[in-house]
Structure 1
Amino acid sequence: MRARHRVLASALLLALAGCGVTDTAPGPAGSPAAGLPGRTSGTPAAVHVYFYSAQGLERVSRLHRGPDALDAALHHLVQGPNPAERARGLVSYAPGQAPTPVGAADGGGTVRLRAPRGWESRSALRQLVCTAADAVAPADGTGLGNVRVTVDRAAAGGTVTQVCMP
């Protein structure tokens, strides 16, 4: 009986070893994948936007493509929480339908923003300051709490300089 098993096992191994597939070399390929049509170039990166919850200011992530993280973060802030975030209880005090604030970072831990009419409330200002600080902190190596954000407030008049304290 053992001899019969050995013969069967040997026959099985020979059949598997000689399956008829020969070695092949790499073949020509098409062009690399280019992504979805209609999207801007660049690797998706996360930007962080600040909304309020019952516990206070809360950081949420959004994906964007392109070089300007500050502009993307401010744009997402104006859009407000998405449906899933609203379902979790997140709200925004940023003015609805208001123009997006514009800004620039100096690369040394400071950001200067111009906030249009509607950004007068302290809560909206805190969201704006933390969102802007978070957008530039990784790029210039400054810690979030060390980024100084100066906001020119068109409607309220004057400027205010703050750091993010979520």
Structure 2
Amino acid sequence: MLLAALLVLPLAPVTACGIGDTSPGAAGPPAGGLPEADRRPASAVHLYFYSATGLERVSRSYAGPDRPQAAMDRLAQGPDAAERARGLISFLPDGPTPQVATGEGTGTGERGAVEVTVVSGEHTSRTAVRQIVCTAAAAVGSAQDRRPEDVEVRVRRLADGTLTTEVCAE
């Protein structure tokens, strides 16, 4: 009897796992592969906000013309609820949204061409300028297949008339 118990004991976990029999259930439609071109999600713009560890890039969906200005408009709106919950903040002052211009007359050079006009220039901290520069550089860089740090951004402050050339240094 002891021998019979020793032979049955190793089989007990296999036969008594506690899961009952079930019948097949509906699993939904089969996998369909990649979505069709017109059904693909919109592309993204990258914005820069601050966290406890420094400047952080976030992505927002985007569809439409003028990617650089669309990115700046979204930056001016500040972090959304989910981003704020992650501890992200913005240092942009309240006021008019910085305006982005690309192309001729914007300081073309080997690193790209973008100029951002900041209306509230005297109230815009160095921290806020970094957000603006990196957001503009990311938007222009993605359109030109360049990294943000490879795009020069000219920042024009209307309040004091200064014009500086900046590079995104994350």
For normalisation by structure 2, the TM-score amounts to 0.68
Give distance in 2, aligned partners of 1:82 and 1:47: 14
1:78 to 76, 90, 110: 76
| Partners of 1:74 and 1:101 within 8 A in 2 | yes
- After TM superposition, the structure 1 = structure 2 runs for residues 122-161 of structure 1, keeping only pairs within 5 Å, are 122-161=126-165
Count, aligned residues = 126
Contact 1:120–1:155 (Cα < 8 Å) also in 2: no
Match of 2:99 in 1: 102
The RMSD of aligned alpha carbons is 2.1
Q: Runs ≥4 in structure 1, deviation > 6 angstroms? A: none
SS of aligned partner of 1:93: coil
* Deviation sequence 1:112-163 (CA, Å, 0-9, x none): 1111115521000000000000001011122211100001101233111100
Letter in 1 for 2:99: V
| Cα distance between partner residues in 2 of 1:95 and 1:147 | 24
Q: Conserved in 1, the CA contact under 8 Å of 2:92 and 2:124?
A: no
**Is 1:116 equivalent to 2:116 in the alignment?**
no
1:86 shift after superposition: 0.6
CA contact (8 A) 2:102 2:114 kept: yes
Counterpart amino acid of residue 117 in structure 2: R
Question: Aligned residue for 2:52?
Answer: 54
Question: C-alpha distance in 2, partners of 1:126/1:49?
Answer: 11
Q: Per the alignment, in what secondary structure is the counterpart of residue 63 of structure 1?
A: strand
Q: Distance in 2 between matches of 1:104 and 1:125?
A: 16
SS in 1 for 2:90: coil
Unaligned runs of 5+ in 1: 1-33, 36-42
**TM superposition score normalised by structure 1:** 0.70
